[in-house]
Each structure stands twice: as structure tokens, then as C-alpha cells.
Structure 1
Amino acid sequence: MTANAATGLSARLQRLGLLRAGPRTLAPQPRVEVSRDVPGVVEVEEGQGSFVLRTCRHPLDYVHGARPLGDALAVSARDVGLATRRLDYAEVPPDRRLYLDTETTSLSGGAGVYVFLVGLGRFEDDAFVVRQYFMRDPGDEGPMLAAVARQLDEADALVSFCGRSFDVPRLADRFVFHDRDVTARRLRTLRHVDLYHGGRALFGSRLPDGRLRTYERRMLDVHRVDDLAGAECPEAWFGYVRGDENRIAKIMEHNLIDVLSLVGLEERIGRAFVAPDHPLTALATGVLAFESGGKTRAACHLVPAARRVALDGAAPFPLLLRAVRALRRLDETAAAVTLLGEMVTAVPHDTRGWVQLAIVQEHTLRDHPAALASVDAALGVTSAGGNAIAALRHRRRRLERRLASGSAGLHTV
């Protein structure tokens, strides 16, 4: 098949939806240098090529949003690891943690996607230093990755936001493409604290979505001005390759703020374990502490929060049910009943709260009339069928038998 025939066939298959269009390719263009108007930019020679490096040094008292960057050094790394399911994060010294954010030529991934900007932040002595490795065109990629690899060699942990699913796979693919398999394996196996998961665990029930910008506005008091949206960065870079450097400074600034916000969000997550600012956050910290074996600490968070929480129609039931189970295991029945009462009051049409309340009333309080009333409430609002409705009816028959035999006891807490 000739090249023209193959091209024509590919185009027809793409139109029919039988072949996905590949990533954008780059026609050769004269190299456009990054303007010296971008502060901190230098060209770095590496091997047989070069790339652009921008270094931004921030003193520890530099305020990003509402708090100095240095405050992140004061929070417990164990608590941050607890929220992100990486308890071994506490073993990593601050200067061995690498804060990672990348910009790529496509947000969807796939073969041929370039990582054209790698932002790496690190605490060094009395400052937080961000180094931005910029690829002016594909010829810069090998030298740029060689420099990034050296930074990875000096790190024992990565800190990112959605980096497990986005930044690391794409960057590892580029290392493999350049026959740097050892670096790719190291990148994939480094301890990785993904703050997206920690933020969702602690604050997700209070936020409309899980975007970094939402955390910035609502939790960090960071308000970007004239920022280039992340989705616009790929097109801005392609524009740069075609000769338009007007938005390169904005790409770099966008990436820089992303890296600084990683530090801010890490501090905010760690601080939540010491001074939670909302009952739902206190419930979340208590649940995480309980599930990791810290029962005393869990009770300190869960019991007061269960008594103070006020729910609405958007109650986060998965978190609340985990909190109820933890309270029951801690023998904090009164707090569990208080929380369940709030749940069924706020969302009476959700059977999960009624069922859990009935379980506590029947098996812990031995208050069978109250348990029967809760089961009836669940039956009155359920739209489920099959096993769920059968289980409720079975529970109801058992309670009726106990009441009929005079075995019911009324107990209060």
C-alpha cells in the first residue's frame, strides 16, 4: 500500500469512527527562543542539546494564599500520609520530597503526548525552590529529561495533585521513549503522596468539585488573576512552536502556582488533623485515625463532631456511615445515635440511616419498639426491591416476634 493510500484509508476510518485520530504531530519550525522577559529563564546545555530552565526561589515566609510556605514544614507528615494512604511519608525528610506538576500536549494521554514543562519544587535550606524544565521543541526533550532524572534521583517521595493518574504515567512514558527505563521505574515506584485523594477524603463533602482551583479558592484563599487555564496550555505551547511566544510566560506562571498550591494544600491537610475547622472534616479525620488503628485519637475527633454536625440534603452518607461504624466500635453509642438521628432527620428518604439506626436500637440499646419504628420508616421510603426489601421485612418479623414474646427491653443512653 502506498503512503498516499494509507493516509487516505486512515482518514476514512477516522471519519467512520473506526480509528482514533492520533496525537498532534509537529511540522518542523524554526526554533523560537523564550523571551528574557520571563524572570529566571536560562538556557541550559545538557549533553548534545539544551533546554530552558526557570528557577524561582521563595523564602519560607513567602505567603501563598493565606499562609507562608514554611508552615508546611510544621505539620505532621504522618497526618498527611494518613489522609493520602501513605503512612511511610513520615519517614521522608522535607528536602527529599519533590513537588511535581507537569504540562502536556494533550490532556487525554496516549502515545506521542509530550510533557513540555515539568515543574519540580523542593525545600532547600531556608527556601522553597521551584525549577521549571521547559521543552522548546521535541529536540529539547532528551536533554530536559536527563536533568529531570537527576532531580528524581535525589528524591524519596513525590507530592502531586492527581499525579498518580496523570503526571507520572505520561512522564514515565517519555522516559521509556528515550530508553531511560530505570528512571521510569523509579518514577513509578517512588512513594507518592497524591493530595487529590487526601483533599477528597477530608474536604470533599464540602466542595462542589475536586479541581485544584476549587481547593485554592475555598481552602487556601488563592485567587488567580489572568491565569491561563490548564486546558489551554497545550494549544498555547503549539502556538509557541509555530512562532507565537506571547503565552509562554502564562504557561510557566500557571505551572508555578500549581506547584506552590501543592505546598499549601499539604499544609491544609496536615492542619486539619490538629484543628479541623468543620464537623465534617473532624468526622473525616476521626474515621481515618480509627481505620489506621488510632482509637484514642479517633474518639477525640469523632465524638465532639458527631454532636455538633448539622446536615442538609447533600449529606455525605459514605463518610457518615463510616463514622457511625467507628463510633460503635469505640463504644460511643450515644454519639452514634446522635449522628444517626441527624442523618435520618436531614435525609429521611434515605434508608441507610434508618437501617443503621435500627441496628443500634435492636442490638446495642435493646430498644425493640424504637427499632421496629425505624424499620417501618425505612420500609416507607425505600424504592429498592429484591434482597434489600427482603432483609428489611425479615428484620421487622424478628422484632415483632420479640415484642410478642415480651423480650423487648427499653433502654436509653
Structure 2
Amino acid sequence: MSKLSSRLRAIVRGNPPGSSPDAELTFEPDVPEKRGELPPPPDISRAAEALGGRPVENQYGRVLAVDRRYEADRWHGETQIGGCELDDFEPLRALDARFRSSWSPEPGARSLTASPMFFDLETTGLNGGAGTVAFLVGCAWFDCGALQVRQFVLTSMAAERALLEALREQIDAAPFVASYNGRTFDAPLMDVRWAFHRLPSPFETKPHFDMLPPARRLWKHRGEQSAGALARFSERTGCSLMAFERQLLKFRRVDDVPGFEIPSRYFHFLRTGDAAGLESVLEHNRLDLVSLAVLTARAARIVVGGYAACADARESLALGRIYEGNGRVADARACFEHAAEAGDRPTRADALSRLAISLRKERRYEAAAAVWRRLVDARPPRTKTLLPLERLAMEALAVHHEHREKDLELAKKFAEALNDENGDEAIRRRLSRLERKMSERQSPLLN
């Protein structure tokens, strides 16, 4: 081993193999010669005074809690806080299939009326894993029409167990939790932190409503409309909470801290004890919670109100799909009819095709064919290019008239309309079969 070490040192030093090195290699860390001790953790009392909070103590230590209350008469954009309290969370079960499967009421039992606990995290990074810590956990719930917000701030890494215990107490007091993308990011991250401290996670047994999937289903396609701001909406911001906050709730933040700055502000607080930079982070988190509560109430109202509560045809179409997924066939068809009457050409085609397929599943072939015909006839005059769903309607009509109505002439008419440069081999085979059948039908008459 010593010979190998000597040869390696010689190679590093540039000496010929076998020659004695000029000096022994030693490891010299690149640090200043005089380094002071690490700064002490920030004083929780000073941080509480700066942020308007108070220390909360439990069996694991102390954590900083900051309370704010949004009264019922306060407005968030165009929505009043007092009108957002949920008195029944059955509509949320319709919106989120995973939430529906995690909680099923007993037969004859009333739905829970207590407020859910909305929660949102601010973390030291976005990668997740054992190295990412939630230094700010925001919780919110409705109390007598007002929205009560409580935020737990991690003033030192040693206080994480105390923060986890305080959060567990909040979760245990709620019938279920609600988040925005929390099932994918927030809850798994907190599960890792509880596991790190060898503590059970309350998320494992608590029903969890995630607002992101319903928001995507209800409002994702609004950006496809040709109206100015909405046309740029989906391209620029997608389905983020702040995007829906601006476009749906009509709320705009002033001097909001950018998300990429949040971890650095927290690390500055740990190094210096100066909590001034955290105030805007807490405000950012509070606004996320308020927007989540208001957006959840908006979605629930749409489910309860049906197509009459929808803002436009696309929303009605999306609601119909949600109803359909919940087995509410009649409500779904009513939404599809409304979307077909009020929507543009793509929306109308989507709505009518879903309506026709729904009828066909019940073997109501005549009614389904009538809807397919409505879809075909609704095309603008002198339109040569067919939408994919319009092609589907013509193909369905060709099948219906060939096999059920036995009207070969009409079946051939629809098949010929599909036999353009984009026509596939199946259409050409259908035309050949129809021509053969028509020829066979005429042969006995000629004889």
C-alpha cells in the first residue's frame, strides 16, 4: 500500500516514478484561517414579536404560531369570504374520485359539516426527499363564516418535531384536509419528515381533497377561447393556483414575493435572526390559503347548481363529464345539451358526441343517431374541413344506417363524405361493401 501511495503522490506532483516526492501531500480545506462559530439559532420571542405571532409549546419543544383572521365581510377579488364556508362536502366527493374513495358516509348518515383544514407549505426546496424541509406550514379553516389562518414557522431545525406535533393536532381536529397539489407534493413531503423523526403521519388516515385535478377538469380549456386575456391564460400560466386566482377570482396580488426567493429569505433569517424578510413570505402563504378556500367553494357551488351555475359552455361541458363520472347520467346530459346550445363549434361537437355516446350505451340507437345528425348538421355552411368529432359522427351514422336502418343509400352518402384525401382503408372497404350490397339488392329486381 505504501508503494502505491508513493507512486500516486509522484504522479500528482509530476515527479518521475521511483523518485522521492518533494513533499507529502496533505489535505488543506479551502476555508478561512479564522472562522467564527456558527450563529446561534434565531430567538423565537424576537421572531414572534417581528411577525406578530406567539410561541406555542408542546411535548417536543416550542414553535412559532402566527394567527390571522379574514372576517366574513371581507372580499377576495369578486368573492366575499363569508359565502365560501362549506356546509356539506358531498360536492367535493363528486369533484375528486380519490377523495370520494377515501371517505364514504354510512347509509342514512348526514355529511360532516365541520370545516376542512386547508393547508399549504413553504419549503427549503422543490425537489422533495429527506433534505427538503417545510419551514412554514399554513393551515386555514372556517369559523362562524370567517376564515381563520394559523401558520407554524420553523425558527430552528431543532424545533421541527414541535412543528410536526402542532400540525398533527390541527389535522386531527379536522374532518378532512384540503390542498392544491398537496396529494402529490405537500403530503408526501410531510410524510418523509414524520418518518425521519420516527413519528406516524396523520395524512395516512385522514381523507384528503386535492383541488388541482378538479380545477384542471373544470377550467383548463378556458384558455383555448379566443377572448383576449383568457386566450393567453393557459399558454402563459397553466393551471397554477395564482393563474386561477387572477382569471377566475379576479384577485391580483401586490408586491408578492417570487417563489424562487422564498428559500433564500428563510436561510437569511436562520443566519441573521432578522425576520423582516419573512413577513412577505407569510403573506404569500396566507393568500394561497385564502385563494384555495375560495376556489374550492366556487367548484362546490358549480356541482350543486348544475349548468345554470356555470360561467360558460366549456364549464358546463366539464361539469357534465364530472357528473358522468359520478353516475349522474341525467345531470350530465343536461350539461351536454346546454354546452351544445351555447358553445362554439369545437365545444358543441364535444358536447353532442358525449351525449350521443351516452345514449348509445343505453342502446337508444335512434336517439343517439338523432344527436349524431345534429352534430353533422351544425357545421357552418360551405365548410369542407371536418373536425375529428364530426368525422366520428358521420362514421357512426354510416354504421347506423347500414346495419340498423338498412338504408344503404344514406349510409353510402355519409361514407362518401369521409372518403377524402384523409380517408382511411376502413372507409374504402365500407364503400365497397355498400356498393356490393346495393348491387345484390338490385339483382333480384332486374331478374
TM range (shorter): 0.7 to 0.9
Most deviating of 333-342 and 277-286: 333-342
Match of 2:271 in 1: 242
Q: Which amino acid aligns with 1:358?
A: E
Match of 1:354 in 2: 391
Tell whether 2:267 aligns with 1:254: no
Equivalent of 2:41, from 15, 28, 31? 31
Match of 1:289 in 2: 323
Match of 1:61 in 2: 73
**Would the alpha carbon gap of residues 235 and 292 (structure 1) be closer, same or farther in structure 2, given more than 3 Å must change?**
same
How big is the shift at 1:194? 0.9
**Would the alpha carbon gap of residues 159 and 317 (structure 1) be closer, same or farther in structure 2, given more than 3 Å must change?**
farther
Match of 1:19 in 2: none
Q: Which amino acid aligns with 1:357?
A: M
How big is the shift at 1:381? 5.8
Match of 1:173 in 2: 192
Q: In structure 1, what is the Cα distance between the partners aligned to 2:137 and 2:340? A: 43
Q: Which amino acid aligns with 1:158?
A: V
Q: Which amino acid aligns with 2:313?
A: P
Q: Which amino acid aligns with 1:248?
A: L
SS in 2 for 1:293: coil
Asked if the contact 1:69/1:264 (under 8 Å) is kept, the reply is: yes
Q: Which amino acid aligns with 1:255?
A: N
Asked if the contact 2:317/2:339 (under 8 Å) is kept, the reply is: yes
Match of 1:129 in 2: 148
Match of 1:147 in 2: 166
SS in 2 for 1:165: helix
Asked if the contact 1:157/1:192 (under 8 Å) is kept, the reply is: yes
Tell whether 2:211 aligns with 1:195: yes
Q: In structure 1, what is the Cα distance between the partners aligned to 2:188 and 2:300? A: 27
Tell whether 2:338 aligns with 1:326: no
Deviations 1:241-272 (A, max 9, x none): 22253320111011101111111111111222
How big is the shift at 1:369? 5.4
Asked if the contact 1:362/1:368 (under 8 Å) is kept, the reply is: no
How big is the shift at 1:156? 2.5
In the TM superposition, 1:43-62 aligns within 5 A as 43-62=55-74
Most deviating of 47-56 and 168-177: 47-56
How big is the shift at 1:153? 1.3
Tell whether 2:290 aligns with 1:264: no
Q: In structure 2, what is the Cα distance between the partners aligned to 1:83 and 1:337? A: 32
Q: Which amino acid aligns with 1:167?
A: D
Unaligned runs of 5+ in 2: 1-36, 224-233, 443-447
Tell whether 2:238 aligns with 1:206: no
Percent of paired sites with the same residue: 26
Tell whether 2:339 aligns with 1:305: yes
Match of 1:108 in 2: 127
Q: Which amino acid aligns with 2:216?
A: R
SS in 2 for 1:50: strand
Q: How many residues align?
A: 370
Q: In structure 1, what is the Cα distance between the partners aligned to 2:264 and 2:355? A: 45
**Would the alpha carbon gap of residues 49 and 316 (structure 1) be closer, same or farther in structure 2, given more than 3 Å must change?**
farther
**Would the alpha carbon gap of residues 117 and 395 (structure 1) be closer, same or farther in structure 2, given more than 3 Å must change?**
farther
Tell whether 2:277 aligns with 1:277: no
Deviations 1:364-387 (A, max 9, x none): 79566565555555553649xxxx
Match of 1:157 in 2: 176
Q: In structure 2, what is the Cα distance between the partners aligned to 1:154 and 1:204? A: 33
SS in 2 for 1:228: coil
Q: In structure 2, what is the Cα distance between the partners aligned to 1:53 and 1:347? A: 65
Asked if the contact 1:73/1:94 (under 8 Å) is kept, the reply is: no
Q: In structure 1, what is the Cα distance between the partners aligned to 2:187 and 2:432? A: 55
How big is the shift at 1:357? 3.4
Bigger Rg over Cα: 2
Q: In structure 2, what is the Cα distance between the partners aligned to 1:376 and 1:290? A: 34
SS in 2 for 1:220: coil
Q: In structure 2, what is the Cα distance between the partners aligned to 1:217 and 1:157? A: 27
SS in 2 for 1:180: coil
How big is the shift at 1:74? 5.6
Equivalent of 1:219, from 215, 237, 248? 248
Asked if the contact 1:119/1:130 (under 8 Å) is kept, the reply is: yes
Most deviating of 326-335 and 53-62: 326-335
SS in 1 for 2:314: helix
SS in 2 for 1:166: helix
Unaligned runs of 5+ in 1: 1-26, 384-388, 408-413
Match of 1:73 in 2: 85
Q: In structure 1, what is the Cα distance between the partners aligned to 2:284 and 2:353? A: 39
How big is the shift at 1:150? 0.9
Q: In structure 2, what is the Cα distance between the partners aligned to 1:347 and 1:134? A: 62
SS in 2 for 1:99: strand
